[in-house]
A = this chain, B = another copy of it.
Amino acid sequence: MKEPQSIATLASRFSMLPGVGRKTALRYAYAVIDLTDREVEEFCESLKEVKHSVKLCSQCGNFTDSDVCDICLSRQSKQICVVAYPKDVTAVEKTGAFNGVYHVLHGTLSPMNNRTPDDLNIKTLMTRLSGVEEVIIATNPDVEGEATAVYLARLIKPLGIKVTRIAQGISMGSELEYADSVTLSQALGRRTEL
């Protein structure tokens, strides 16, 4: 005997989320039964809303509800912090240690996965560099993140712009998204020139 078909189906949907295994997915599916009709309705609306209203900022590439994101609109800075993913912007912002603007690559260079510079949001970055004094590269401290940092440094340094890398205060192999704010804050403070 198994759970009702509709529960099994909903569980399989939850399984698409990161880190959700079969048991957790079933637990979520059963929990949905206890939600009110209104809550389920709102849940659905939010799911669709995210797909329809979330766009990429035309300047930095971060997620936004409008054409240009809040950070690009409200900040003038000669420092650009380059990150791989939008979630990394959230992580750096949480430290409060950086007041500049961001640029989201939406990935890292990875020959293994066939991700070349053309697949990353690099062209727009190059158009944003006039007047910029420093580009801080805050990709993850893993092989792909390092490769991306080196690639960008070679591209940008010839333009006379300082290119720095967040300090390896974050342990090798870990992910930026999960770093605690103190560690990430230190890594920003101790950044080294490439």
In terms of DSSP, what is the predominant structure of the interface of chain A? helix
Mark interface residues in A26-63 (1 if CB within 8 Å of B CB, else 0). Answer: 11111111010101111110111111011000000001
Is A71's beta carbon under 8 Å from chain B?
Answer: yes
Cβ-defined contact, B30 with A51, below 8 A: no
Q: Which chain B positions have C-beta within 8 A of A40?
A: 47-48, 51
- How far, in whole Å, are A48 and B168 apart by their CA atoms in the complex? 47
A190: min CB distance to chain B, Å? 23
Copy number of this protein in the oligomer?
Answer: 2
Proximity bits, A122-135, B CB within 8 Å = 1, else 0: 00000000000000
From A4, A5, A30, A32, residue with most partner B Cβ within 10 Å: A4
Measured CB to CB, the closest approach of chain B to A66, in angstroms, equals 9
Bound state CA distance, A3 and B20, in angstroms? 22
